[in-house]
Structure 1
Amino acid sequence: MFVWRKRAGAGWLAANEATLREVAGQRLAIISKPAHRNAIAEIASPNCSELERIRRRFGGVIEKLPRNWLRKFLRGQKPKPLKIVPASRAFGTGEHVTTAMSLRLLEKTTRFWGAQAASLHSSAACRRRLSKQVSASSRNRQAGSLRSPEAEWALLDLGTGSGILALAAAHFGVKRIIAIDNDPIAIATAMENARRNKIDRVDFKIADVRRWNFPKRVDIITANLFSELLIKILPKLKRARWLILSGVLREQESKVTRALKQNGIVVTEIRRRGKWIAILAQSLPESSRAQARDLANTR
């Protein structure tokens, strides 16, 4: 058995996937991973000549698999525990677009593709520098040269609902997590979901975000709340390095982004699905906030 394989970006796939489907049909597999810009296209065939024709046309490499490749593959598969957040009376099962977009941004942020990535994406040189930084981070975690969720990150989940964002953060490696909601039923549901998924490092609290005393230091705040409430508590949220905000309608986008700028918070990415948006933002250092407020007020 032989496998043709090519690592490709979104542009290349958009231009060539349909043609590859015509050639290979269901044998074409597109493998993509969260926070990876490139995907891998693969086609398996017992006929090396067929794959050679594909290689000459599309590039890539051909690998010959050992005779016992299937047995080795199956032997290496270890079943993973099934993680489920069931639909219940608490909001947030991953099916609503606001939750889904927040999950994407959370995964991106915890893998060094959040605010730092957005602030460096303006030039090819910066993109290369960021790529080197991300690669170096995995080598230097033990030395502590770059922060990693495994080492020290703290996350605050506001309006946790079912707890899905807090539980996902634990899955992504964040060690210190506080999840709050003003609904006792939501907190009870979130605690049960944590128990089902054998996650015990989330501190669930019943509290009102408008009156709750925020911790002095937090790296990430996720807030799936109505825009009016988000704007009201922004002075508290800006102590976080990264913010993931959702629950905002499209027609409220300009109002929310203007409030973020006035509080010295830089919007680094906005995702839109249907009538909803989700925002990834980074809080500026104190020395830069006054300048950002002045700039926002002149527009």
Structure 2
Amino acid sequence: MWVWSKLSPIQWEDAWEERFHGNPNVVLTRLKGGRSVRVEVYCDEESEAIQVAEQFGGRVRKLEDKNWMALTATPGPPIKIRGSLLVTPEVDPSRIRELVRIHGGRTVVRIPAEMAFGTGDHPTTASCLRFLADEAESHRGRPWRMLDLGCGSGVLAIAANLLGAEECDAIDHDAKAVAVAWNNVDRNKARGVTVTQEDLLQWVPVRQYEVVVANLFADVLEASFGKIGEMLDPAGAFILSGVLREQWTRVEAQARKKGLAFSEVTRKGKWVSARGGFG
């Protein structure tokens, strides 16, 4: 594995995030002091990393196949979702017990930083988690199944399973994401979650789901709305995220063409998330 890296002033963090949006192999790390951010892109081939360096400067180096992000990251504070969920990068058993004591009654999801896959603190993921918590509450006492499209670390499928979804299928096109997600499934004992490597645009689903979540960038969403409609139960809920504000009007119009409409839309910074179903 190869990695391209570059140090940048903290005020450019959003610009880097937007530039690499949709690339699951990007890591942005705020350095101590809060004045700088380290931007890293992990690549399978040296030529890929060199191509990034030619465009943005920075440096390229070869890595052993280790969990470099986990070795360098400092666990952040837990993320509280509604009154039901707590997402934490902590893995130390004593810290987990302390979190359970402090936040009694919440379901704890452990998602440590691994490679380039998120822990749930990005606005797009956090918004999906809030919508998922609402769906879990509305399905209380009734069976439901969930589909996670572009699962990354697996946090959404794991949270859904621990909040009551009997079966959660998660797919991602990236083999590393699938491996990371399986590790997190085992770590959280989320026995109702299955993770597979699939290309969403080519994948043929074999069932429908009461809840479908797609935290994807706009182009993939627009190309997939027809297929998402086939996956969604007629009375089901569709949650999407990963759409920039300036893309939302176009994305919503494409969704409506496929019979999907949104009753709730949230905007966090430059990101838009929404929940709806068949209009």
Q: State the TM-score, normalized to the length of structure 1.
A: 0.56
Output the amino acid matched with 1:84.
Answer: R
Judged with a 3 Å threshold, the aligned counterparts in structure 2 of structure 1 residues 212 and 158 are, in CA distance, closer, same or farther, namely same
Name the residue aligned to 2:9.
none
SS at match of 2:249: helix
Is 2:247 the partner of 1:252? Answer: yes
**Residues 134-181 of structure 1: per-residue CA shift (max 9 Å, x gap):** xxxxxxxxxxxxxx3654211110000000000000111000110000
SS at match of 2:127: helix
The list of structure 1 runs, each at least 4 consecutive aligned residues, that deviate by more than 6 angstroms after superposition, is 77-81
Name the residue aligned to 1:107.
133
Correspondence list, 1:217-256, <5 A:
217-239=208-230, 240=232, 241-256=236-251
Is 2:196 the partner of 1:205? Answer: yes
Output the amino acid matched with 1:209.
Answer: L
Check whether the contact 1:161–1:190 (CA below 8 A) recurs between aligned residues. Answer: yes
Deviation, 1:90, is: 4.2
Check whether the contact 2:109–2:159 (CA below 8 A) recurs between aligned residues. Answer: no
Structure 1: gaps of 5 or more residues? 1-31, 37-76, 113-147, 285-299
Aligned residues between the structures: 179
SS at match of 1:87: coil
Name the residue aligned to 1:153.
144
More helix by percentage: 1
Output the amino acid matched with 2:225.
Answer: L
Structure 2: gaps of 5 or more residues? 1-79, 85-102
Distance 1:104 1:234 in 2: 22
Distance 2:194 2:155 in 1: 13
Distance 2:199 2:168 in 1: 17
Distance 2:141 2:154 in 1: 20
Q: State the TM-score, normalized to the length of structure 2.
A: 0.59
Name the residue aligned to 1:279.
274
Check whether the contact 1:156–1:218 (CA below 8 A) recurs between aligned residues. Answer: yes
Is 2:111 the partner of 1:85? Answer: yes
- Please, which of 78, 82, 87 is the counterpart of residue 34 of structure 1? 82
**Residues 63-98 of structure 1: per-residue CA shift (max 9 Å, x gap):** xxxxxxxxxxxxxx9898853101122433111110
- Please, which of 241, 250, 263 is the counterpart of residue 258 of structure 2? 263
SS at match of 2:109: coil
**Residues 101-137 of structure 1: per-residue CA shift (max 9 Å, x gap):** 110011112222xxxxxxxxxxxxxxxxxxxxxxxxx
Judged with a 3 Å threshold, the aligned counterparts in structure 2 of structure 1 residues 100 and 33 are, in CA distance, closer, same or farther, namely closer
Judged with a 3 Å threshold, the aligned counterparts in structure 2 of structure 1 residues 81 and 252 are, in CA distance, closer, same or farther, namely closer
**Residues 177-207 of structure 1: per-residue CA shift (max 9 Å, x gap):** 1000011111111111111111111111000
Check whether the contact 1:149–1:175 (CA below 8 A) recurs between aligned residues. Answer: no
Name the residue aligned to 2:68.
none
SS at match of 1:161: coil
Judged with a 3 Å threshold, the aligned counterparts in structure 2 of structure 1 residues 262 and 79 are, in CA distance, closer, same or farther, namely closer
Distance 2:112 2:81 in 1: 25
Check whether the contact 2:109–2:158 (CA below 8 A) recurs between aligned residues. Answer: no
Name the residue aligned to 2:26.
none
Judged with a 3 Å threshold, the aligned counterparts in structure 2 of structure 1 residues 283 and 99 are, in CA distance, closer, same or farther, namely same
Name the residue aligned to 1:116.
none
Distance 1:226 1:33 in 2: 23
**Residues 215-269 of structure 1: per-residue CA shift (max 9 Å, x gap):** 3321111111111100101001113121110110000010011111111111111
More strand by percentage: 2
Distance 2:114 2:156 in 1: 15
